[in-house]
Amino acid sequence: MAVTLIEKPDSRSFDSAVGAASGTWRYLARVTGEASPEAALLTAIFAATGYFWYDLARKKVTCTPLTSELYQADVEWTYEVANGAMQDPTASPGPTDGPGGTTPSGTPSGPTGSTDRVGINESWEMGGKPPKLFSSLDVLYSEKAGGGVAPDNARLLNIDRKEGKVEGVEVDDPAGTYTFSAKVDFVTWGYVELLDSALWHTNQDTWRTMPPRSYCFMGYSLKTGEDGRIAIDLKFGRRPEQPIAAKELRDEAGKDLPTVATTKSGWDYLEIDYEDVYDATAKITVSRPAAMRIHQLLPMFDFTTLGIGG
């Protein structure tokens, strides 16, 4: 009982294209004394070829009988990243094995390190909205009507002075978004950690022609394609600066606000305190700006470290 395989001279032809390469191995086979010659032939071919030929995966075996004992066998290969398929989930793995214990994949290893590459068949998204903020990182500008410094609120945001509560602020959606999309050969887990650390940070330097705190990194998505490369999208919220002219908020003798022109960066927050003032002409009490503060709400980050330029 035996199976003899002879690889033909025209075997191992191949073509090369990014993500679409293919190849063919050709055999002449003789099967003798086997109760199930077809099964024995396939077992011998599988053993001789393995699962991967460089980055080509074995996809199809075609066997054509020539005589009662002779066969022509063609093994077709197509592009696939090695170890891309999961192990057989019906197998019974041991405590250190992955989801299964058989080929084509090797046993998963761990723990994952920051220099390890993200494997194929993986995708995820990160983003959403930051939580409601009740204090800022810094007060960049402070002035009360007519000059001087606004009351010190210890960086607390929107204090209700009647009830003594801190109302805080929700970070508004941006005026527009900018998305960087690209394909990369691989991504390491260290780069994923870098992206996570940059979430809800603003540009610390001029970036994409805009001054600091004009862009906010709002989220990203990564997805590995059939060719093993990773499609990456990085999403940034974009807000222009807001100039505030002198007397723009309150134009009243001795109560001008601000007394000189200033500028609020895109992702900073303008907080205004109001006071009740009786309007003798209209004979009503109205609320008018009494003080202003410009807060830095979000931390800054060097976006050039994300590898997409500046």
| 179 three-class SS | strand
Report pLDDT for 291. 95
Per-residue pLDDT tens digits for 119-150: 777 888 898 888 899 999 999 999 999 999 99
Average pLDDT of the residues in 43-54: 85
Q: Which residue has the tokens 């019906």?
A: 90
Is residue 100 very low, low, confident or very high in pLDDT (cuts 50, 70, 90)? very low
Q: What is the mean pLDDT of the chain?
A: 87
Q: Which of 10-24, 130-144, 211-225 has the lowest mean pLDDT?
A: 10-24
The answer to whether 201 and 215 have CB atoms below 8 angstroms apart is no
Strands (E) in 128-267, as ranges, are: 138-144, 159-160, 165-166, 176-184, 202-203, 215-224, 230-238, 242-244, 262-264
261-291: pLDDT as tens digits: 999 999 999 999 999 888 888 789 988 999 9
In angstroms, rounded to a whole number, what is the distance separating the alpha carbons of residues 52 and 83?
A: 9
First to last CA, the chain: 69
Instruction: Output the pLDDT for position 38.
Output: 92
Predicted local distance difference test score (pLDDT) of residue 257: 96
pLDDT at 91: 52
Q: Give the separation between CA 156 and CA 168, rounded to whole angstroms.
A: 7
What's the sign of the alpha-carbon dihedral 221, 213, 209, 304? negative
Confidence band for 230, pLDDT divided at 50, 70 and 90: confident
When mean pLDDT is compared across 21-30, 59-68, 101-110, 276-285, the lowest value belongs to 101-110
HSE at residue 90, side-chain half, CA atoms within 13 A, is: 0
d(CA 250, CA 146): 9
pLDDT of residue 39: 92
Closest alpha carbon to 266 in 292, 297, 290, 288: 297
Task: Express as a percent the part of the chain with pLDDT over 70.
Answer: 88
How confident is residue 85, by pLDDT bands cut at 50, 70 and 90?
A: low
Helix H or strand E segment including 126: strand 123-126
Look up residue 148 and give its DSSP letter. S
pTM of the model: 0.69
Bridge partners, 143 (sequence order):
292
